[in-house]
Every structure is written in structure tokens, then in C-alpha cells.
A and B are shown apart, each in its own frame.
Chain A
Amino acid sequence: MITKRIIPCLDVKDGRVVKGVNFENLGDVASPVDMAKIYTSSGADELVFYDITASAEGRRIFTDILTETASNVFIPLTVGGGINSVADFDRVLKCGADKVSVNSGAIRNPGIITEAAKLYGDQCVVLSCDIKRVNGEFRVFARGGRDDTGMEAIEWIRRCVGMGAGEVVVNSIDTDGVKGGFDIEMLDAVCKAVSVPVIASGGAGSIDDFIELFRKVPTIDAGLAASIFHFGEVSISDLKDRMAAEGIPVRRL
């Protein structure tokens, strides 16, 4: 039976891992390569690296880090942040990424999804979506959750999957950084709308939150989190032991 995936997310800026609360107040954690190795040996099923640098110099450092990580860590690696063209896909795939996630780049130019899916296959294209409730509807936000695009999220996700996105990361801005649990209502709505794998992001504060996620949204494929793993509040091996005890299919080392 296929297992539910646990995915630590590393936001990388100037060669270091950072994590913001509600996307602000970025605090420094550790070396991305070291963290990737630690997570792999503690049972992470996959890693996500987000490049949150804006400068060309920062981008070069990020690419070097990616290369070093992919030379040392042999589990799937998804890369996002600053992906605006097929050339950006090419740049990170050559450095060892397996999947590439698009967010604002797809909002500006949805055609990038079709183009990349044709070149690299649907399985390579991950749609990442920052969503917040506005006037009773799920709204897509761009630029790291700063800009309201006015687009309804479920429709946007359906459209992107139709164009070739092979996986969807749903990040709820409403629950992100609050550590009060995943956004069950939002995730359920997305899982009902599409048939590709859906990854839950935003809100995990404890092991119980993951258990609630996999119980209440049985079709969700993976849970993603950052700071609770980075700061050791939840260990991946404890989390997986508990999932197994609860009868949730999980890969253990």
C-alpha cells in the first residue's frame, strides 16, 4: 500500500535555512545540506527546498547548495521559488531537483505549466498555491502570500491540473505559522476537486495535527511542515511511529 508522505520544507535565503511566522520575521536555523542529511536519516520521505532569495548572487548560492544536497541525499527533492520560465526548470533540474514547484510564476504566466509538463512530464510539475479566505471564498495569493490575485483557488487549481500540474501543494495562509493544525476544510475541498496527489501545508504544530489531517482528509497524500521539524518540536521518527500505531500507512526505516 502506498504510504502517506512526511515532507520537511526548507526555505533557503543566502545559503541558510529560514522559516517565517506568517511569512515574516525570518529567523536563521542551519545549513541546508546538513539539515537535508539529518532529515533523510530520520525518515523524511521527500524534501522541499524553496529559494527565497531575490538577488542573482543568492540564486547562484542556492543552485550550489542544491547541487551539494542532491549529491548527498537520495530521496526525492522538490525545488521552488523564483521559477518563472522553462529555463528556471532546466536550471534546477540540472542541479538534481526531481520536481519543480511553480507558484507566482504560474499566476503571471499559466502557460509555463503546459510548457514544462510537455518537456519534463506532468510528474515533474508541482503547483504550489498560497490560499487565504476572503469574503467567504478561497482566494489565491501571489508573491509569498502578499498579493490577493482575486482568483478563486479551487477553480485555479483545477485549471492548473488540467494544464499538466502533476501534484499540488496547498498552503493555507490562514493557518500558516499558527501551529493550530492543518486547514482541514480547505484541504478537503482541494482533494475533492482534483485527482492528482495533494500535499498539505500550513498549520502543523504537533504530531496530533498530522494524525487529524490523515484521518479527516483520507485522500491527502502528504503533510509538509518546516519550523516544527527545524526546531525539534516534532521528530519525524516519533511522528511516523505514531502514524503506524494509528494504522496510517507510513514508511519506516
Chain B
Amino acid sequence: MVAIIDYGVGNLFSLKSSLKAIGADAVVTADEKVIAEADRIILPGVGAFEDAARKLRESGMADVVKKEAAAGKPMLGICLGMQLMFDKGYEYGEHEGLGLIHGNVRPISDVIPEGYKIPHIGWNLLKFKKESPLFKYINEGDYVYFVHSYYAADCDDAVLAVTEYGADLTAAAANGNVYGCQFHPEKSGNVGMKILKAFVEL
């Protein structure tokens, strides 16, 4: 079973539906016991880093997620959920993340040339940097759906895939059992479904 962490951030309807569509059992929960019994965890998130990081801490979910990650449970952060897995986020100040993947989350305006619209919204292609079981059903050059204004930086060792938007931006990263994707697999059509399928088979 997949536990989708509920900490009051974002729209979990599509994520739950997409897992159901690939035949995976999923539950949206903030119950520590349910999360402990689940065999994998998804950390979703949309919105601002500071607000989400605070809600994650205040709900007690930050400690639960860290504990499960340390125990080796496969974990996938999506969009802001991925960003929260890094050490620090620089969105309106400096904020502490979960520190599960080394690196920092910085504005994409730091690296992309002028003339590129922010946020980076739409379908963009994946360039693989490392082999990963997460990609076992997809190919380099497949398109996925992005919506973001910040990206994971200072994390070269962890990067699994990048996408080009005036500069190479981290599209997926991993540290052992902890995975993150900046794009939304639950909104990326068949390619996204294949990534979720690979995750539930980890």
C-alpha cells in the first residue's frame, strides 16, 4: 500500500486516482500507524516552501517521514514535495527542508536567461543523467508536465534527470530509497503512469 502524506497542502485527488488507475492501493493519511504499515510513501505538495515546511513540521509528519526514510522505505516526493526533501529552500528567505537529499532549492530565475517565462509551466522532456529503476518503463526524451518557479540546485550527485528550460533544471533526483520528481507524474499522461508504476514496484 502507498501512503500519500496528508499535511494540508495541495490537491490529492488526481494523485490518488492515478495510483488507483495503475492498480496500486493508496490512502491519503496523516496517521503515523498507517504510514508505518504502508510499504511506500508519497510526499505531495504545491504552494510555497516555507508554508509547506511549517505544516509538515507542525503536523508531526516531518519526523514521521524522516523516520521512515531512515528505515529504508521507498519514498517519492512530487513537485514541492520533492523540494522539501532537500536541505534548504531559498523561497522568500532561507528555510529548512527535510535534509533527505543533499542540495538546496533555488529560484529558476537565478539560472535561466531573460525572456523565459516564470513559472516554467508545460510539457518538457527528460534528459537522463543516471540510470534509475524509476525510469525502467520510460525513455529519454519522454515528455512530462512541469509547474514550478524553483528548482533543486547544488545536488549534482543526486540528479537522475534534468529538463532544459534555458538551463538544465533538476527534473528528478534520488538518494538511496528517497526519490523526488519536480514534474507531476499524476498529470503527465502515460509517461507519468509508467513512472508511478515503476515506483510502486521498487
Contacts and interface: CB of A to CB of B under 8 A. Distances in A.
Contacts of A75: 145, 187-189
A123 B11 contact: no
Contacts of A196: 117, 119
B193 interface: yes
Contacts of A72: 17, 21
A199 to B, nearest CB: 10
A94 B13 contact: yes
Nearest to A252: B143
Interface stretch (A1-9, A55-63, A208-216, A226-234): A1-9
A105 to B, nearest CB: 20
A122 B47 CA distance: 9
B1 interface: no
Given A93-B11, A94-B13, A96-B14, A74 B189 contact: yes
B14 A45 contact: no
Nearest to A123: B147
Contact of A1 (B13, B164, B189): B164
B11 A96 contact: yes
A35 interface: no
Contacts of B125: 1
A91 to B, nearest CB: 12
Contacts, number: 86
Nearest to A97: B11
Contact of A74 (B18, B47, B120, B122): B18
A239 interface: no
Contact of B48 (A45, A121, A221, A253): A121
Instruction: Please indicate which of the listed interface residues A98, A195, A253 has the most CB atoms of chain B within 10 Å of its own CB.
Output: A98
B46 interface: yes
Contacts of B143: 3, 251
A40 B188 CA distance: 11
Contacts of A3: 122-124, 143
Interface string B125-152: 1000000000000000001010100000
Contacts of B122: 2-3, 5, 45, 197, 221-222
A120 interface: yes
B121 A167 contact: yes
Given A45-B122, A71-B21, A74-B193, 9 more contacts: A1-B125, A2-B165, A72-B21, A75-B189, A76-B145, A76-B187, A93-B11, A121-B48, A124-B46
Contacts of B145: 75-76
A75 B18 CA distance: 10
Interface string B85-125: 00000000000000000000000000000000111111111
Interface range on chain A (Cβ under 8 Å from partner): 35 or more
Interface string A3-28: 10100000000000000000000000
A95 interface: yes
Given A70-B13, A71-B17, A123-B46, A2 B192 contact: no
A32 interface: no
A209 to B, nearest CB: 21
B175 interface: no
Nearest to A40: B189
By Cβ-Cβ distance, the 10 closest A-B pairs, closest first, are A251-B143, A251-B123, A96-B13, A71-B17, A123-B147, A2-B124, A3-B123, A2-B122, A121-B47, A76-B187
Nearest to B122: A2
A49 B41 CA distance: 32
A166 interface: yes
A120 B46 contact: yes
A168 B124 CA distance: 20
Interface string A45-81: 1000000000000000000000100111011110000
